[in-house]
Amino acid sequence: MKRLICFCAAILLAFPLGGCDSAQTSAEVYLDSGIADSGEGLTLYFEEEEAAAQALEEIYETVDVRGLAFANRDLLKNKFFINPDYLEEFHVKYASGRYGVADVFLLKPYPEYRADVRESLEQVKVSRVKEFENFDIYNSYRIAQDAVIFEQGEYVVMLMLDDTETARAVINRHLPQ
């Protein structure tokens, strides 16, 4: 019976769900759902992926910037020019910029693309600095200039927040070094 339920769940996940972005493949719907096939049935999330999501959530508990949104694969590619095919997983929340800046990128690239992903984050930083150069609302220009990009375990991280020290402490608690 358990195998039948797993089989039925796998079949349902193989088909695009109504309301999903038509550009998303069924495999992407499956992956974006947070469900992974471990070879021993369906399991929810990997521990590390859950830790990264928790870190992102905790960081934004104290951020007081309006216009925050999560980035999906299309936004990563079209807005930030980061190739989502280079990533095993990602957790990105960013500000629209109209009410300030508060961007956090937690990217887990495939090992062979680590340098490319880091370079892409450097370009995101440069782009955000230019964006706020003439529209410096709530010190966004300084915050963008002071953004930090670093590697934490298997993740490449960018923190573009007013309080990067607190955010870094949160990441240190949740993600292995």
Q: What is the pLDDT along the chain (177 residues), one digit of tens a residue?
A: 455 455 555 555 555 444 444 344 333 433 444 444 444 444 434 566 788 999 999 999 988 888 999 999 999 999 999 999 999 999 999 998 788 899 999 999 999 999 999 999 999 999 999 999 888 778 899 999 999 999 999 999 999 999 999 999 999 999 988
Q: Give the pLDDT of residue 156.
A: 97
0.85 cut: is pTM over it?
no
Q: What residues pair up with 150 in beta bridges, in sequence order? A: 157
Structure tokens of 156?
């490449």
pLDDT of the residue at 173 = 93
pLDDT at 11: 53
Q: What is the pLDDT of residue 141?
A: 94
pLDDT of residue 134: 86
CA separation (Å) from 112 to 1, 115, 116, 171?
41, 8, 9, 23
